[in-house]
Chains A and B, each alone.
Chain A
Amino acid sequence: MDSILDLSAVQTAGKVKAGQLRPLEILDAYYGRIEKLEPKIKAYLLLLKDRAYGRAREMEARLKSGRPLGRLAGVAVAVKDNMVLEDYPTTCGSKILEGYVSTYTATALERLENEDALILGKTNLDEFAMGSSTENSAFGPSRNPWDTSRVPGGSSGGSAAAVAARMACAALGSETGGSVRQPASFCGVVGLKPTYGRVSRYGLVAFGSSLDQIGPLARTAEDAALIFDVISGHDPKDSTSLVPSKIQHPSSSTQHLSGIKVGLPKEYFSVEGADPEVFRVTEEAVKVLAAGGAKIEEVSLPHSRFALPTYYIVAPSEASANLARFDGVRYGLRAGGQAGSLLGLYKASRTQGLGHEVQRRILIGTFALSHGYYDAYYGRAQQARALIARDFEEVFKNVDFVVSPTAPTAAFKLGEKTQDPVSMYLSDIFTIPVNLAGIAGASVCCGFSKDNLPLGLQIVGPAGRDEDVLGLAAHWERLTRGQYIQIPQGVKNG
């Protein structure tokens, strides 16, 4: 194991800025690692080697001339391939974007690079971020570094796998319903779903616009906080991005565990179909928090049981409009020959270009918005969504955080759930209420299953308190002396 690969993002940037570590060495180490492991893990869809080396050389020149480097100097990051980078392809894991080259750069990526992060490449995902395993990627699934017969989770599975396997120091993923936290849980890394509006969505290919949010995946809570700090903040290009003065519950800078109140939502701990082992490990973790000084309380989130059906109306409805632009007319895959007419062109291009799960959701969403069905589906889902959010607001009047398992199971086997969409959807049962409520949620590794698979602890905080959520995750890491920050055995020696 190369020692460069063992450095956290915070450590890497410190060493680079101090002139103790060269950006080019970092790239050599990571691309070397990727070369070895990629055939096994399949985390990346595109490597940006030339671009990264070009930037690294430019950074070295800057360093030599005594000019300062940014806060992520030399931090090698992977980004999910649904964020656009000017002049490079963005596939969204879909065939329909075949040949498409992005015309501009996403704000989050611009912010990473403004602080001198090095983007290694773009990672695999479920097509258009629709899925929980990366098995919906048109380019084949990624593998879980802890057990390559298992999925890394999804949809940001490529990013989570890359971070877990040391094929990137940190990564960006995106969430619509659990797509950062669930793969973070499956791969044993830290993942944050920021409060809606804290990270600009400009340049993130939209899935469910009222839910989508970019979030960091990292080895430690401290790294996740650094990345979050860099990518967050108001962006005039995103009208839904929050201006600092509008953030409801700004994070407090000091974080003492003693005296904080942690709520355990009783409804979450009695969910059917969850692995009992998951609850056992979570309860152990809660005991550790209590021993560390946290006050534990049972709380109730009664409407969270409507979260999955609500989500599967809201997200597909918005997706049905967001994905309408992929029609074969202006870019990407255009079906030839049989098209014949305009309608034929649309049908053939979308049938060939979009996978089954994406088609399923477009159909669900189109139906839910249809005349005569709108009130019964989309209208009611919005009402349910408001109730789910209100539950959290009520609970946060009494407790600082809510904790639960991140996912109901550890990583499952490839192919295990592909024939049963509903069981796949259940994978996000604990994470989706947080997206619907638009609040902050993180996952941090809190133990291992009997098969030695990582399990995540979900920490949820009120809107705006993202830093505090990661603060609690960092406390957890200190309390447990970093024992759950581990490299998967199978990829330890490459």
Chain B
Amino acid sequence: MKPAIGLEIHVQLNTKSKLFCSCSTEVFGVAPNSRTCPVCNGDPGVLPVTNKAAVERLIQMGLALNCTIAERSIFARKNYFYPDLPKNYQISQYEEPLAGKGRLDYYSGGRVNQARIHRVHLEEDAGKLLHAIGSQTLDCTLVDFNRAGIPLAETVTEPDFLTSAQASDFLVTLRATLRALGASNCDMEKGEMRVDVNVSVSADEKTLGTKVEIKNLNSFKSVRDALEYEITRQREAVARGEKIVQETRLWDVKKAQTVLMRTKEGASDYRYFAEPDLPAICVDEAWISELKKNLPPLPTQKMEQYQNQLGLGPNEAQALVFHEDAEVARLFDETVKLAGANGNAVGKIAANWILNDLLGQLKTRGLTVAKSGMSASRLAGFIKLTEEGGLTSRLAKDLLNKMLDDPALEAAAAFKESGVQLLSGDDALLPLIKKAIQANPKAVSEYKAGKEKAIQSLIGFVMRETRGQAHPQKLQELLKKELTP
């Protein structure tokens, strides 16, 4: 039975102020209800005024997702009662959203797939209910309206995904796209990206089964797990001859299963109607082309650039462009820029250091790029030093660790501090080289017979003897000279 998966993604748009008032959107870690005003509190008599920046972010998003941008778009009131919703209606878009049909290429399983976008619309966020403060359960519920009125973009896809991996890979591409645009930070921990999924299974290739919605998934892992669980649940139910009921479910992380939230009968009638307090948003060609002109390079373009101009392999490029930590790609771009003009080599080298060493270290240390203090200038300094100084990878790794231990330490200082003196003089190296030749007659004869690689065991011998402190290039140079009759 074939599954069909559709996604609804809410992201917080990057704006200084809220969607309909001038309150700050910096709400993470601030006191409850300290970022509110009569407008976002929904006090009697207030009126909304649309934040142009939010509209522009959404149009840019629409352009990046190849959507049709509506010349005329309207807001609507979505009516439902809930204590986190100050007006008991949400200003959203229903008919005539800002961005209509589009498509996004995404990378999945080493291939480029395409998903169709149904629409992208603009709406305001609600507040947050607090049932406990820390571990202390409250005997009442408190409401924090700091989030109320923060601009959100809701992206709705067509049911174009066949597996949980495809859905998750699409989300990875979408996240990287929105970050590249500067449209959203998509930090799921801060609630800046929230995902609902629709999933159905069908025995018949041509028709879709009855869809079940799973709401409020707040990590990509939850998306995958919930989809896996739900696909299996539905397949088993159908196999037993049961009918799938249209309903909304929630993902219980602890139990690792989806649980019923409400059936279709229990669904709200939102009584949408055009928001009378706001005029239509009219977007003309000039505005669109202005925004188009300012679009930064998007992930697909970056993938090409990394591969064609910097010589990275597809896997390396993908790992950088779509990394969960948005700073990774930024660190890479800036490091390449700073580390020198000889593009290709530096690109490949920087990618290696970041992907193979730095990220591993950060993971062990439980750090993000931003928190590690590893700036592009420090990393570029490190790369220059290791390349020009010809450090062995062992030494270089130690150096990188030192720099991570002390975020104030530049590469040069770290190297100096390590006290390492590379042996590069003939006097120091030649005796060791002779010793190596004596001790490895097999390698010597192989090399002389034309097997160039055999020289590695001779280099290894000297390195062991010097505990890695021989200058690798100089060593190789001298060795070759000695072996050449």
Check A370–B269 contact: CB distance below 8 A: yes
Partner of B43, one of A104, A238, A371, A378: A104
* Beta-carbon contact of A236 and B269 below 8 Å: no
The answer, yes or no, to whether B86 is at the interface (CB within 8 Å) is: yes
The interface residues of chain B lying within 8 Å CB-to-CB of A321 are 77, 79, 87-89, 271, 273
Q: Could you list 26 A-B pairs, sorted by A, with CB under 8 Å?
A: A84-B43, A84-B44, A97-B44, A102-B43, A102-B44, A102-B45, A201-B47, A202-B45, A202-B46, A203-B46, A206-B277, A238-B47, A238-B49, A239-B278, A240-B278, A317-B273, A320-B271, A321-B79, A321-B89, A324-B79, A324-B81, A324-B88, A325-B86, A329-B83, A330-B86, A369-B272
B87 partner residues in chain A, CB cutoff 8 A:
321, 324-325
Q: Residues of A at under 8 Å CB distance from B?
A: 82-84, 90, 92, 97, 100, 102-104, 106, 201-206, 208-210, 236-240, 317-318, 320-321, 324-327, 329-330, 342, 346, 366, 369-371, 374, 378
A-side contacts of B79, CB under 8 Å: 320-321, 324, 369
Chain B residues within an 8 Å CB radius of A369: 79, 271-273
Q: Is B276 touching A210 in the complex (CB atoms < 8 A)? A: yes
The answer to whether B88 touches A202 (Cβ under 8 A) is: no
- Which residues of chain A are near B43, meaning CB under 8 Å? 84, 102-104
Hey, which chain B residues are within 8 Å of A90, CB to CB?
A: 44-45
B277 touches A366 (CB 8 A): no
Question: What are the residues of chain B within 8 A of A206 when measuring CB–CB?
Answer: 44-45, 277
Which residues of A lie under 8 Å from residue B191 when comparing CB positions? none
Contact A202 B47 (CB under 8 A): yes
Instruction: Answer whether residue B340 sits at the interface, using C-beta atoms and an 8 A cutoff.
Output: no
Known contacts A210-B276, A325-B87, then 5 further A-B pairs from the complex at CB < 8 Å, ordered by chain A residue: A83-B45, A102-B43, A104-B46, A240-B277, A321-B88
B 69-87 binary contact with A (CB < 8 Å = 1; else 0):
0000000010101010011
Q: Is B48 an interface residue (CB 8 A)?
A: yes
Contact A327 B45 (CB under 8 A): no
Please tell me if the beta carbons of B269 and A371 are within 8 angstroms of each other in the complex. yes
A325 with B276: CB separation less than 8 A: no
Q: Which 10 A-B pairs have the closest CB atoms?
A: A324-B88, A369-B271, A210-B276, A209-B276, A205-B44, A203-B45, A371-B269, A205-B45, A104-B38, A103-B38
CA distance A83 to B43 in the complex (A): 12
Query: Which DSSP category, helix, strand, loop or mixed, fits chain A's interface?
Result: loop
Which residues of chain B come closer than 8 Å to A102, judged between CB atoms? 43-45
CA distance A320 to B83 in the complex (A): 17
Nearest-neighbor residue (CB-CB) of A317 within chain B: B273
Given contacts A324-B88, A327-B81, contact A239 B49 (CB under 8 A): yes
Q: Is B373 an interface residue (CB 8 A)?
A: no
Residue in B45, B271, B272 whose beta carbon sits within 8 Å of that of A366 in the complex: B271
Within 8 Å of chain A (Cβ to Cβ): is B279? Answer: yes
Q: Would A239 and B48 count as touching, CB distance under 8 A?
A: yes
Q: Distance (Å) between the CB of A276 and the closest chain B CB?
A: 38
In the complex, how many angstroms separate the beta carbon of A240 from the nearest chain B beta carbon? 6
What's the minimum C-beta distance from A375 to chain B, rounded to whole angstroms?
12
Q: How far is the CA of A425 from the CA of B47 in the complex (A)?
A: 28
Chain B residues in the interface with A (C-beta under 8 A) = 38, 41-50, 77, 79, 81, 83, 86-89, 143, 269, 271-273, 276-279
Q: Give A396 Cβ to nearest chain B Cβ, in Å.
A: 23
Q: How far is the CA of A327 from the CA of B46 in the complex (A)?
A: 17
Whole-angstrom distance between the alpha carbons of A378 and B76 in the complex? 14
Question: In the complex the two chains form, what is the Cα distance from A238 to B49 in whole Å?
Answer: 7
The one of A97, A326, A371 that contacts B271, using a Cβ cutoff of 8 Å: A371
What CA separation (Å) do A102 and B44 show in the bound complex?
8
- Measured in the bound complex, the distance between the Cα atoms of B42 and A209 in whole Å is 15
A84 touches B45 (CB 8 A): yes
Query: Nearest Cβ in chain B — how far from A402, in angstroms?
Result: 25
Asked whether A346 and B273 contact (CB < 8 A) given A238-B47, A239-B48, the answer is no
Per the bound structure, the CA–CA distance linking A248 and B45 in Å amounts to: 27
In the bound complex, how far is the Cα of B269 from the Cα of A202, in angstroms? 29
B49 x A318 contact (CB < 8 A): no
| Distance to closest chain B CB from A241 (angstroms) | 9
What A residues does B49 contact at CB under 8 A? 236-239
Measured between alpha carbons, how far is A315 from B404 in the docked complex, in Å? Answer: 65
Bound complex: CA A325 to CA B46 (Å) = 12
With a cutoff of 8 Å between Cβ atoms, the chain A residues found around residue B81 in the complex are: 324, 327, 346
Q: How far is the CA of A202 from the CA of B103 in the complex (A)?
A: 41
Cα distance A370–B269 in the bound complex, in angstroms: 7
CB distance B42 to A325 under 8 Å?
A: yes
Whether the Cβ atoms of A92 and B44 lie closer than 8 Å is yes
Q: In the complex the two chains form, is A342's CB within 8 Å of B83's CB?
A: yes
| Bound-complex Cα distance A179 to B411 (A) | 77
- Tell me the complex Cα distance, A412–B394, Å: 99
- Residues of A with C-beta under 8 A to B88: 321, 324-325, 327
In Å, the complex CA distance between A374 and B77 comes to: 14
**How far is A209 from B91 in the complex, measured between Cα atoms in Å?**
14
Cα–Cα distance between A330 and B86 once the two chains are bound (Å):
8
Whole-angstrom CA separation of A82 from B45 in the bound complex: 8
Tell me which residues across on chain B come within 8 A of A374, comparing CB atoms: 271, 273
Shortest Cβ gap from A353 to chain B (Å) = 13
For residue A326, which residues in chain B have a CB less than 8 angstroms away from its CB? 44
A202 to B, closest residue via Cβ: B47
Residues of A within 8 A of B276 (CB): 208-210, 240, 318
Alpha-carbon gap, A289 to B391, bound state (A): 103
Closest to B44 in A: A205
Minimal beta-carbon separation of A243 from chain B (angstroms):
11
- Residues from chain B with a CB closer than 8 A to the CB of A325 are 42, 44, 86-88
Which A residues lie within 8 Å of B143 (CB)? 329-330
Instruction: Name the residue among B81, B272, B273, B279 with the largest chain A CB count within 10 angstroms.
Output: B273
Residues in B whose Cβ lies below 8 Å from that of A346: 81
Q: Find the residue from A83, A317, A370, A371 having the highest chain B CB count within 10 A.
A: A371
B277 surroundings in chain A (CB, below 8 A)? 206, 209, 239-240
Q: Within 8 Å CB of B44, what residues of A? A: 84, 90, 92, 97, 100, 102, 205-206, 325-326
